[in-house]
Structure 1
Amino acid sequence: MQNFDYDLQSLQETRNLARQAKLAQTELAKFNSEQIDKIICNMVKAAEENAVSLAKLAVEETGFGKVEDKTFKNQFASTELYKFIKPMQTIGVIKDDPVNKIVEIAEPVGLLMGIIPSTNPTSTVIYKSIIAMKTRNGIVFSPHPSALKCTLQAARLMNDAAVAAGAPANIIGCISKPTKVATDELMKCDEVAMIIATGGSAMVKAAYSAGKPALGVGPGNVPSYIERTANVAKAVKNIITSKTFDYGTICASEQAVIVEECMRDQVMEEFKRQGGYFMTPEETNRVAKKLFVRGHAMNAKLVGRSPAVIAESAGITIPPGTKVLLGEQQGVGEGYPLSYEKLTTVLAFYTVKNWEEACDLCIKLLNNGGVGHSLSIHTENPEMAMKFAEKPVFRILVNTPSTHGGVGVSTGLAPAFTLGCGTWGGSATSDNVTPMHLINKKRVAYGIKECAENAATTSYSACSAESGISEDQLMNVVNEVISLLKKRGDH
């Protein structure tokens, strides 16, 4: 009875949040650019002031990642995001084309639903709240149950900061009693116009099946290829920097390292020098058994954990100061557990004969749970980078930590914590999601071409004049052809 009552309370809360946020959004839609910018600036200020406390709360509640890295993510999702989106025109006339006489006017989508993962809860709330406000949309969050407290706190801080700067009350909401019933209700309720889903595959698929527009992301399973011309020391440093950032919780982090036979020993030595530990086959199997549950589902107890925690759980001994664990794999799929996505400090390690074999292996790894997302390559050969641009992903990250490159920290990509995987990965977009994905475009189009009163007659007349054939003769030919076709059809 208690669970039933809790579900009912959760359901009612969700309906109230959606109604309140929709009313607020209707008011927000009347705001001008100056008013919106004032609101966002206050939200950024609140995010900066609470970046550390939110990071601590997230680590304490979920056990995932590192406080210093989650602090950076909170700052990146606010300050750096704001720098990138500030020049964007998202209100009123956003384009005036005098040649084609088309005027484009931005309109808000309406009320958004934001699905929040447990791996990056507070930074994702900050990011989605700010891009929602930039486009005069309201948003209600559905938190992951294991990250409820930190998600709620981040949402409250964003709402309070927005309202203090002039936004309507309840413009940003968050479910405080998360249940499957509540999430389903929010996905399908009339007030919600669009869903932004960041989370597991099942949740993203549910968002796309809710019967309304959705922007969702799939898993990463990013392969990282160290090509023979690469600066090996720099490549290894980039991979370790990426994989140890927040202990690998970002889906753009590397999942497998691929090297050629001619440089295998050099790469292995460099990993060892920089803090990598190559597990024996037995140790690899013991770790793999701990990393996954129910087949290839990630064990939440080891997501976003240090190598020391993983080693202790698996009962193996590793050197002090180890930064990443590497396990050699000979194939992809069943029987090769490290070929699947691992949002923690463990990497699969593969050796290939040449770049062609590396290509084939990358495709197999991507098809094993990362199509459309990202691929990393370390090379000094631009032509090789373009060869790998042919792979089935939408982010080909060259000579950079994959985590930082994918979300736009170390590349020119848009700062984002929702990375589209395109149709190949079951997503509606292949972009890093920005405010420009959250507006409707109205177009005022003036006539610029004259239209004949009877286009068909004009066409026949022109044809007749050019060929010297009268219109009657032309029509007779047409009728004969039609008659012939009809006779053939009878047989």
Structure 2
Amino acid sequence: MKLDRDLQSIQEVRELMIAARQAQRDLAGWDQRQIDRLVEQIVLACEQNAGRLAEMAVEETGFGIAEDKVLKNLLGSRTVWDYIKDMKTVGIVSEDKARGLIEVAVPVGVVAALIPSTNPTSTAMFKTIISLKAGNAIVLSPHPNAQGCIKETVAVMRQAAKAAGAPDGLIGCIETCTMQATNELMRHKFTGVILATGGGAMVKAAYSSGNPAIGVGPGNGPAYIERSADIKKAVKRILDSKTFDNGTICASEQSVVTEGCIKERVVAELKDQGAWFMDAEQSQRVERLIMRPNNTMNPAIVGKSATTIAKMAGITVPLGTRVLISEQSTVSPRNPYSREKLCPILAFYTEENWERACERCIEILENEGVGHTMTIHSENEEVIREFALKKPISRLLVNTPGALGGVGATTNLAPALTLGCGAVGGSATSDNVGPMNLLNIRRVAWGVRELEDLRSAAPAAAQRSAPPQMSEADIARITKEVIKNLQAQGYQL
């Protein structure tokens, strides 16, 4: 019975959380060297199994390209580790004797990690590595459509952790995947912080759970090609990004915005590099595939190739087509082309100048994906700075593929598979999330001033002057005047 399975999954989560809490307390006795040795052993195991796990993910979910998922697995393990390995995350992390300050790292405890189906194995690796680096335990909640490959990834990491002497229960994973189990995980009293990567509804649930949460909403980043851009390189980067793992990274471009004066050159270059501009009828056929009746993204197209999507829509495109493009002039929640599309489909907008392009990009982002990421291809520093000042985003990527630049593969951003969207996007952070987001800092501060020092240092104008002293004669005179006034008003005294 479904009810029995739901109850079983809830009980399973409770047991996982008890074990994780105890394991984290045991881990609290480890020093930085021991923690780093543990995490490095897990990283090595992830590297060694990157190919096998990538193939499992594609086979189970039907999303993406195995060779690209190998790169994601390496990004989520080795690249992340190389970036964070020298971070101080245990015990005293800084000390300033001259100022009388010490900072101590304090783990949040147990991290509740929600894992998506689009990047299942790499996200499981990434969240586990940064959680353990910060001294936490972790319990993972797999997406039901990717639970097999996620559970196998956890098994690989657990085996490596055990060999490194880690306490049992440090890396937990829900075996009975139900919505009730995920809700119990997010609301559990032992949950220190929730790392939520996935759909908007799930992220909102994380923030309403009553526990601290770091959520990542949808992306919908436009790619602006400005008139000074190297058009050939700009197009290459956009298509490289949009076809990487068939567009399943949320930082990938969702639309191209360019200027009228270079439109013909941009269109010609897109066609030369494998993009297919659909006519009105073809656009309508594909449009009906993008969203479901409830106006959410259709999972049937996620991570599929352009030719597969064309076949699903019943349209004919040339062999070798890499991306499907539809020219658009409107942006709205009811226009699927102006929304997030985790597959090789792009909207194409043409504007008069960079100021109008700037407005269009803001309109696209405010329609969906506000706070996330966008790209600009330009050699004009002034225009780039104007975009940086005005766009409601957490990452402006310049002359680089969006999908790879956003996660730190082709930029010097922190390598991460959880990209914060900032307050404007409803997120608790705008960071590329890492270990420092998963610990608190306890500050020890020595007194360096006395009350007398504060008073003597205060500006004279800010100091309250003492109230004036009244003589007995003044008091008698005032009393006499008050009595006289009261008698004049008819009071008998």
Give the TM-score range, shorter chain. over 0.9
Report if the CA contact (8 A) 1:91-1:135 is conserved. Answer: yes
State the 1:157 CA deviation. 1.3
| Distance in 2 between residues matched to 1:65 and 1:340, nearest whole Å | 20
State the 1:461 CA deviation. 12
State the 1:396 CA deviation. 0.4
The 5 A counterparts of 1:323-342 are 323-342=322-341
Q: Deviations over 1:230-267 (max 9, x none)?
A: 00000000000000000000000000000111111100
Corresponding residue number in structure 2 for 1:435: 435
Corresponding residue number in structure 1 for 2:64: 65
Q: 1:472 to 1:254 in 2, by over 3 A?
A: same
State the 1:470 CA deviation. 7.1
Q: Tell me which amino acid in the other structure corresponds to 1:175.
A: I
Q: 1:471 to 1:68 in 2, by over 3 A?
A: same
Corresponding residue number in structure 1 for 2:468: 472
Identity of aligned residues (%): 51
| Distance in 1 between residues matched to 2:119 and 2:457, nearest whole Å | 62
| Distance in 1 between residues matched to 2:220 and 2:258, nearest whole Å | 17
| Distance in 2 between residues matched to 1:396 and 1:459, nearest whole Å | 45
Corresponding residue number in structure 1 for 2:136: 137
| Distance in 2 between residues matched to 1:114 and 1:376, nearest whole Å | 28
Q: Deviations over 1:178-228 (max 9, x none)?
A: 111111111111111110000100000000001111111111100100000
Q: 1:267 to 1:440 in 2, by over 3 A?
A: same
Corresponding residue number in structure 2 for 1:49: 48
Q: Tell me which amino acid in the other structure corresponds to 2:427.
A: S
Corresponding residue number in structure 1 for 2:101: 102
The 5 A counterparts of 1:20-99 are 20-99=19-98
Corresponding residue number in structure 2 for 1:192: 191
Report if the CA contact (8 A) 1:93-1:104 is conserved. Answer: yes
SS at match of 2:194: strand
Corresponding residue number in structure 2 for 1:245: 244
Corresponding residue number in structure 2 for 1:373: 372
| Distance in 2 between residues matched to 1:357 and 1:103, nearest whole Å | 50
| Distance in 2 between residues matched to 1:148 and 1:439, nearest whole Å | 28
| Distance in 2 between residues matched to 1:398 and 1:375, nearest whole Å | 9
| Distance in 1 between residues matched to 2:48 and 2:459, nearest whole Å | 75
Q: Deviations over 1:61-87 (max 9, x none)?
A: 100000000011001111111110011
Q: Tell me which amino acid in the other structure corresponds to 1:196.
A: L
Corresponding residue number in structure 2 for 1:311: 310
SS at match of 1:105: strand
| Distance in 2 between residues matched to 1:415 and 1:80, nearest whole Å | 7
Report if the CA contact (8 A) 2:333-2:367 is conserved. Answer: no
The 5 A counterparts of 1:189-338 are 189-338=188-337
Q: Deviations over 1:122-150 (max 9, x none)?
A: 00000001001101100001111001101
Structure number with larger C-alpha Rg: 2
Corresponding residue number in structure 1 for 2:491: none
Q: Tell me which amino acid in the other structure corresponds to 1:331.
A: T
Q: Deviations over 1:441-468 (max 9, x none)?
A: 111100111212995xx7999669x99x
Q: 1:452 to 1:307 in 2, by over 3 A?
A: same
State the 1:99 CA deviation. 3.1
Report if the CA contact (8 A) 1:330-1:336 is conserved. Answer: no
Q: Deviations over 1:4-48 (max 9, x none)?
A: 111111111111111111111110111111111111111011101
Q: 1:171 to 1:282 in 2, by over 3 A?
A: same
Corresponding residue number in structure 2 for 1:488: none
State the 1:472 CA deviation. 2.8
Q: Deviations over 1:154-194 (max 9, x none)?
A: 11211221121111112011111111111111111111111
Q: Tell me which amino acid in the other structure corresponds to 1:253.
A: S
Report if the CA contact (8 A) 1:117-1:198 is conserved. Answer: yes
| Distance in 2 between residues matched to 1:219 and 1:474, nearest whole Å | 71
Report if the CA contact (8 A) 2:92-2:103 is conserved. Answer: yes
Name segments (4+ residues, structure 1) moved above 3 Å: 458-464
| Distance in 2 between residues matched to 1:375 and 1:153, nearest whole Å | 34
| Distance in 1 between residues matched to 2:335 and 2:459, nearest whole Å | 71
Q: 1:440 to 1:370 in 2, by over 3 A?
A: same
State the 1:100 CA deviation. 2.1
| Distance in 1 between residues matched to 2:73 and 2:311, nearest whole Å | 30
Q: Structure 2: which 5+ runs fail to align?
A: 472-477, 479-493
Q: Tell me which amino acid in the other structure corresponds to 1:10.
A: S
Report if the CA contact (8 A) 1:35-1:166 is conserved. Answer: no
State the 1:110 CA deviation. 0.2
TM-score normalised according to structure 1 size: 0.93
Corresponding residue number in structure 1 for 2:487: none
SS at match of 1:302: coil
Corresponding residue number in structure 1 for 2:450: 450
SS at match of 2:372: strand
Q: Tell me which amino acid in the other structure corresponds to 1:424.
A: V
Q: 1:85 to 1:470 in 2, by over 3 A?
A: closer
SS at match of 2:234: helix
Q: Tell me which amino acid in the other structure corresponds to 2:291.
A: F
Q: 1:228 to 1:474 in 2, by over 3 A?
A: farther
Q: Tell me which amino acid in the other structure corresponds to 1:406.
A: G
Q: Structure 1: which 5+ runs fail to align?
A: 481-491
SS at match of 2:452: coil
| Distance in 1 between residues matched to 2:398 and 2:458, nearest whole Å | 58
Q: Which moved more, 1:87-96 or 1:426-435?
A: 87-96
Report if the CA contact (8 A) 1:109-1:193 is conserved. Answer: yes
